[in-house]
Amino acid sequence: MLSLRNLRHGITAVSPTVFLPLLVNNGYNATQIFRHQIRVSSSHRPVCEFINSSLINLYLPIVILGMSDGFSRQMHSLSTFGGAILVQARDPAKLSMEIENAIDDNRFNDAWKLFEQHMHMEGFPRKSIVNKLLARFAESIDVQWLEKAYGLVEQAVEESKQNLLEKEPLIYLSFGLAKCGLSVPASTIRRLIEMELYPPVTAWSAILAHMSQTAPGAYLTAELILEIGYLFQGGRVDPRKKSNAPLIAMKPNTTSVNIALAGCLLFGKTRKAEQLLDMMPHIILKSMQLC
């Protein structure tokens, strides 16, 4: 039976969730502890009552009198260890370095867990880490990591953090998604256009070539070409301006249109094929070039 005669002076702070197991490990019976109703100096309530109420807040500290030198040493060790973890978890610079090291070592599970920690603490890490993570996940051609990268991009857009995203990693990501048959996520190529990070036609044509191999992808392929082609209708883009060079480089060519037409005909999207053919004269491509 625990009695006040066995208590020594010295105060130690401990979480209620840690307090009870340590009592049991040091030879005290949990039912005896509850029945004896040890009082705590911070709240003057029985420990059993305090622990029950603290289930609402597991981190609410209580102050108890140290029972023995061995018990006090355990409590001090736990307190020090917990403090070290807390300090380390709240150091964004160190966490960013660990994310980067995990990416370099191809430890994608660790990299993602650390990235999630950073998101909970500080939000998105710096731009270079975000794009490095996207690029490496895209290069993996693994559906698990491709989907996580896609979710990351969507979250960045939702939080108006598009400035963190770069053109090349997004192109790699769209290509990887399309290659794995994820046609809808692969249409994130639209994000590049929205952000005015215009991908060259050779790059997005390669993405569409994979997308058009499924019925939903064939439809989306035609939609994308129609959207891109619309930018060039009616002489909206002046090719003489140097500032328009990236946009001109994105202009649909015969290869990209033929890819879309083949997908439409393969999966019976005849209406979309007709729309593509109707669009061509408006972007100064002769219909005979389509053959």
Average of per-residue pLDDT values in the chain? 76
| pLDDT tens string 238-260 | 888 889 999 999 999 989 999 99
Look at residue 92 in the predicted model and tell me its pLDDT: 87
Q: Confidence band (pLDDT; 50, 70, 90) for 284?
A: low
Q: Can you give the pLDDT at residue 17?
A: 47
Report the half-sphere exposure of 138 (CA within 13 A, side-chain side). 23
Please write the tens of the pLDDT for every residue from 161-209.
999 999 999 999 999 999 999 988 988 888 999 999 999 999 999 999 9
- Using one digit for the tens of pLDDT, what is the confidence trace for 31-66? 443 334 433 333 444 434 433 443 334 333 333 333
User: Tokens at residue 176, please?
Assistant: 């990887």
For 100-116, the pLDDT digits (tens) are 999 999 999 999 999 99
Domains annotated on the chain, with CATH: 4-89 (no CATH), 92-290 (1.25.40)
pTM greater than 0.85 = no
N- to C-terminal Cα separation, the chain: 94
pLDDT at position 90 is 59
Q: Does the pLDDT of residue 218 top 90, yes or no?
A: yes
Q: Does the pLDDT value for residue 133 go beyond 70?
A: yes
